[in-house]
Amino acid sequence: MAFPFDIGFAKSARAAGGLVILLQVAGQTAASVDDVDPEGAVTRATGVAKFTGKALKTLDVLAPHGASADRILVLGLGDADKLTAHDWLKAGGAAAAKIRGSEKATIYLDAPGITVTAQNAADFALGMQLGAYSFDTYKTKKADDEEARGGKAAKVTLVTAHANAAKKANDISDAVAEGVILARNLVNEPANVLGPVEFADKAKALEKLGVEVDILTEREMKKLGMAALLGVAQGSVRPPRLAIMQWKGGKEKDRPIAFIGKGVVFDSGGISIKQAAGMEDMKGDMGGAAAVIGLMHTLAARKAKANVVGILGLVENMPDGNAQRPGDIVKSMSGQTIEVINTDAEGRLVLCDALWYCNETFKPQFMVNLATLTGAIMVALGSHHAGLFSNDDTLAGRLTAAGLATNERLWRMPLGREYDKMIDSKFADMKNTGGRYAGSITAAQFLQRFVKDTPWAHLDIAGTAIGSPSDEINHSWASGFGVRLLDELVRANYEG
């Protein structure tokens, strides 16, 4: 996967022209590199500008007298004792923004008042790759900075005393970046290009990394009794698919862990059609599936020592003459019947059959599903946390910790029998929506009916996967939320 930067690591480097970036923590001076700035232009500039090294603040010195660089930029890191992994990511993203248009840059990571580890360096590099991402596939005129480089990646050298260890750590960071960028690309793709079949082809492409992939067609799903999933798809001329990905990096005897993604490639709402305003955003209603395929790419690319299953329920929800109607009753793969009250509550119908299939086929240690499922979760949490629902405190705790480590944060929401009454149906075992109140909770209660006693978590990422606030490591409409979170969950808890 092509990156905008060709990043290398070195213990020392002489900068001849181009951009040099120096780091500075609060209360200290910037790094001093005598051969870059022998006449102390940076020291004078920081004094005149009263630059103190506040987090992500910058000082730009153009054509410094006597310096070997054409431009020297000082980047603030903030308080040294408060720096987290996410702060290093953000610093890398901030640096990436300043490199735009440059053909080469040398970044000196070591600075007074701080000890930079190999992981810090790798996190900085990951932040650069994520921060530089843009989706311009359909633009006929490329950005000025890309035009200036002729489409070539900018050559960046990160200078640190721990260069050799940083190179190894960066191999993992590159795998994470590839997974996040894959997820972003898929969510950003227009629905006329990315249908269920095309999405399944993306999953099939992971075979080159060693992932075992099976694709179930409409006919095969019908034999399995997946009428809930198929009911969503029946209004579209584009056939549904169920993509099953297996990464077998652990011991043969170990039961797998499983991740399931909602992949509604476009959601019109069906017969319960959505308002026209903003409907174009519903090309992103497959953000859960994008996160799962991005995770599987990352795990395979970094050769994770775990057995992992990823399942994508891929459909399009459209309102033609064959579309599912409000009031229809369908039988899920589990045998439970569902009254369809609202055809726009379709994601849970896709997931219930995918969850049941996963549980029955693979007997996993746990299942985590991800979905841009409800607007209600955005009312509750906005765009800074995803909703976490779980029947298992250990799994919920590990997911929460992974979210804090990656800053892809989760907030646990309640489950309870009282909410079950809201989705009881007069005509079937359940209905697919419980009405206006507690909408995200009743959706989770619905899904819980399809997991038996298997430890399970549902992540409602409606507010975080698409249209979330821009920051130093993401300027894209699609964030790729969930890839780093779940990779951290696997790495911290399920790899030996």
pLDDT in tens, 341-383: 999 999 999 999 999 999 999 999 999 999 999 999 999 999 9
Calpha distance 364→455 (Å, rounded): 9
Residues 21, 75: contact at Cβ < 8 Å? yes
Q: CA neighbours within 13 Å on the CB side: how many for 3?
A: 23
Per-residue pLDDT at 198: 98
Residues in the chain with pLDDT values less than 50? none
What is the number of other CB atoms lying within 10 angstroms of the CB of residue 467? 16
Calpha distance 80→8 (Å, rounded): 25
Per-residue pLDDT at 148: 54
Nearest residue to 386 (alpha-carbon basis) of 408, 368, 369, 364: 408
CA distances from 280 to 273, 285, 378, 394, 466 (A): 13, 10, 18, 38, 12
Per-residue pLDDT at 4: 87
Q: Which is the catalytic residue, given 57, 104, 274, 305?
A: 274
Report the predicted TM-score, pTM, of the whole model to 2 decimal places: 0.96
List, in order, residues 6 or more apart from 473 with CB less than 8 Å away: 89, 90, 92, 93, 127, 130, 131
Residues 51, 77: contact at Cβ < 8 Å? no
Residues 61, 71: contact at Cβ < 8 Å? yes
Helix (H) or strand (E) holding 110: none
**Phi, psi angle pair for 468, to nearest 5°:** -75, 160
Strand partners, 331: 337
Helix, strand or coil, per DSSP, at residue 129: helix
Burial of 253 (0-12, 13-18, 19+ CB in 10 A): exposed
List, in order, residues 6 or more apart from 44 with CB less than 8 Å away: none
Distance in Å from the first CA to the final CA of the chain: 29
Per-residue pLDDT at 146: 58
Calpha distance 131→216 (Å, rounded): 36
Helix, strand or coil, per DSSP, at residue 387: strand
DSSP letter string over 424-488? Answer: --SSSSEES---STTHHHHHHHHHHTTSTTS-EEEEE-TTTSBSPPPBTTB-SSB--TTHHHHHH
Instruction: Catalogue the E-assigned strands of 161-256.
Output: 212-216, 241-248
Nearest residue to 160 (alpha-carbon basis) of 120, 192, 129, 200: 120
Q: From edge to edge, which strands make up the β-sheet containing 71-78?
A: 5-10, 154-159, 104-108, 19-25, 71-78, 58-62
Two structure tokens written together for 167: 């190179």
Q: Which is the catalytic residue, given 348, 398, 409, 431?
A: 348
Residues 210, 300: contact at Cβ < 8 Å? yes
Q: What is the percent of the chain with per-residue pLDDT over 70, rounded to a whole number?
A: 98
> Is 274 annotated as catalytic?
yes
Two structure tokens written together for 449: 């009916």
Residues 92, 117: contact at Cβ < 8 Å? no
